[in-house]
Amino acid sequence: MLERLCLHALRFTPRVSIEMPNALLLEIRGSVKLFGSLETLHAGIDAAWRRLELEVSSATAPSTLAALWLARAGRCELIEDPGLLAGRLAELPIGCTAWDGERLRALRALGVSRVGELLRLPRAGMARRFGAAAVLELDIALTRQAAPRRSFVPRERFRERFDFEMEVETVAYLQKALEPLIGRCAGFLRDRQAGVQTLELRLAHRAHALTRVRLGLASITSERHRLMDVLSQKLSQLELVAPTTSMQLVSGPLQPLSTVSLDVFARQGGAGGGSDTAPQLVERLRARLGDEAVYGIRSIAEHRPEAAWQRVQELRLNPMLPAGQTRHEITFDRPRPVWLLDEPAQLLEEPQGVEEGPERIESGWWDGKGIARDYYIVRRTDGARLWIFQERRSRRWYLHGVFA
C-alpha cells in the first residue's frame, strides 16, 4: 500500500521515502515554486489522500523527523521557520518518537511525558542512559543535524495498450496483432539493459469482465522470440469468452540481465539454428501443462531423505555458483534414488534379493520427527531396483524409493 501511495506522492515531489510501518515522508521545498506557495502544495497533497478516501494526518516542518512526530501526534501543522520548531514540538507526547517501550517507560518513570521535558534533560546524561542515538534524533528533529533518507524508486514496467478498430473474435488474429507489441516490449527492455520474468496480457470485452493471460518465464529475458513463443503457447489454449475490443500488455518488474555468457548452442533465429535452449523448453512445458506442473528441486542439508529436498518454483538451470558461494548440502557415499514416494509404503513381507545394505539413518530426535531406519537396496526379479528400509523400533519393512 505504501509503495502504491508513493506513486501518487511523486506527482508533488521526486523525493519520497517510506517510514515503516505507516508513513510517507515528502521533501517538498523544491516543489513550492511550481505550486505557487507552501500552503497550496500542502493542500494539494491532502486533497490527493481525500480522493483516495484515506484517513491521514499530515504535517509540514523544516525537518522530516519533526513533521513525522507532528503527524503521529495528530497535529496537522505547517511550520516554515526552524526557530519555531522547539516550541511546537515541546507540547507533543514522547510517544510520537516511536521509541521502544522500555525507553519510553524509563522516561515516564523520570517524569518525562512531553518532548519539551525531553529537550530539557542534560545531553550527556541522556546519551549515557538512553544511548547516543536518542540525542541524535532530537538534533535531527530540530534541524541541528542532517538526516539523508533513501528515496523511493518506482519499479518500472512496460505497459502498452492497443485498441482494435473492429472486435476480434479469433485467437489467431490476436497472436498476429501481438507481434509488434512484443517487439516494442523487447526494445523497451533492451534500451534499459533489463529483462522480465513475468508478463500479463489483458483482453477487454464489451460486456464481459477482463480476461487476464498470465505467464512466467524460466529465467529473466528480453528476447523478443522467447516472449512471443510463450505467449503464443498460452494463447493456443485460450478460448475467448467474447469478442475482444482492446488488449494491453503489462510486464512484471524490470530486473537486471545476467552477465553470464550466452549458451553456445542457443538458437540464433536464423536458418540452420539449433534446438531450443533449456529455459525455452521449460517455458513451453509450463505454458502447456501449467506453472505448478513444472518445478525445480532444492537440496537441504538434512539426513532424513523426505526432508532433504524442497520444491521451488524458480528453476536454476545453470549449475555454476557465483564466486565465493558454496553449496550447503550433505554428500553421501551410498546411492540415492531419484524418485521417492510421497509416503513410505509398508511391505507385507520381508523383501528378497538384497544387493546393498544396511545403511543406518538415525536423525531428527530434536524436532519430534525422529527416524531410526536401516536402508537396503533390493533388486526384484524383473530388474527393478528398490530402496527399502526396516523401521528399527517396529521391525516393519517399507518401500521408500525407486532407482532409475
Q: Checking phi first, is residue 230 left (phi over 0); if not, alpha (psi -120 to 50) or beta? A: alpha
| Angstrom distance (rounded) from CA 141 to CA 138 | 5
Cβ atoms of 390 and 328 within 8 Å: the answer is: no
Cβ atoms of 286 and 218 within 8 Å: the answer is: yes
| Angstrom distance (rounded) from CA 144 to CA 344 | 68
134 plus 18 within the same structural domain: yes
Task: Tell me if 303 is assigned to some domain.
Answer: no
Task: Tell me if 268 is assigned to some domain.
Answer: yes
Q: How many domains does the chain have?
A: 3
129 plus 168 within the same structural domain: no
Task: Tell me if 390 is assigned to some domain.
Answer: yes
Output the domain CATH number for residue 171: 3.30.1490.100
User: Can you give the pLDDT at residue 259?
Assistant: 54
272 plus 372 within the same structural domain: no
DSSP 8-state symbol, 206? S
In a 3-state reduction of DSSP, which class is residue 64? helix
Query: Strands of 339-347's sheet, edge to edge?
Result: 339-347, 397-402, 385-391, 371-379, 354-363
| Angstrom distance (rounded) from CA 315 to CA 1 | 30
Cβ atoms of 94 and 105 within 8 Å: the answer is: no
11 plus 124 within the same structural domain: yes
229 plus 262 within the same structural domain: yes
29 plus 128 within the same structural domain: yes
Per-residue pLDDT of the chain (404 residues; tens, 9 = 90+): 888 888 888 889 989 999 988 899 999 988 999 899 999 998 999 998 898 888 889 999 999 999 999 999 988 888 988 889 899 999 999 999 999 999 999 999 999 999 999 999 998 998 999 889 999 999 999 999 888 888 887 778 899 999 999 999 998 899 899 999 999 999 888 877 889 988 999 999 998 999 999 888 878 888 898 899 888 888 888 889 999 999 999 998 888 876 554 444 444 444 334 445 677 777 777 777 777 778 888 888 888 898 888 888 766 655 555 555 555 555 566 788 888 898 999 999 888 888 888 999 999 888 888 999 999 999 988 888 999 999 999 999 999 999 97
Which residue, chain included where needed, has cell 523478443?
Answer: 224
175 plus 109 within the same structural domain: no
* Positions of E strands within 110-210: 159-168, 194-205
126 plus 173 within the same structural domain: no
116 plus 203 within the same structural domain: no
118 plus 249 within the same structural domain: no
Q: In 192-326, which residue ranges form alpha helices assigned H by DSSP?
A: 224-235, 278-289
Domain boundary among 80, 114, 141: 141
User: Range of 79's domain?
Assistant: 2-141
**Can you spell out the DSSP letters for 257-293?**
PP-SPPPTTS--SSTT--PPPHHHHHHHHHHHH-GGG
In sequence order, what are the beta bridge partners of 200?
Answer: 214, 250
Task: Tell me if 95 is assigned to some domain.
Answer: yes
C-alpha angle 332-334-335 in degrees, rounded to nearest 5: 105
Cβ atoms of 310 and 297 within 8 Å: the answer is: yes
Task: Tell me if 21 is assigned to some domain.
Answer: yes
Task: Tell me if 298 is assigned to some domain.
Answer: no
Domain boundary among 141, 169, 193: 141
76 plus 201 within the same structural domain: no
Task: Tell me if 305 is assigned to some domain.
Answer: no
Cβ atoms of 375 and 387 within 8 Å: the answer is: yes
In a 3-state reduction of DSSP, which class is residue 226? helix
Task: Tell me if 227 is assigned to some domain.
Answer: yes
Cβ atoms of 341 and 400 within 8 Å: the answer is: yes
249 plus 167 within the same structural domain: yes
* Positions of E strands within 32-121: none
Domain boundary among 274, 289, 304: 289
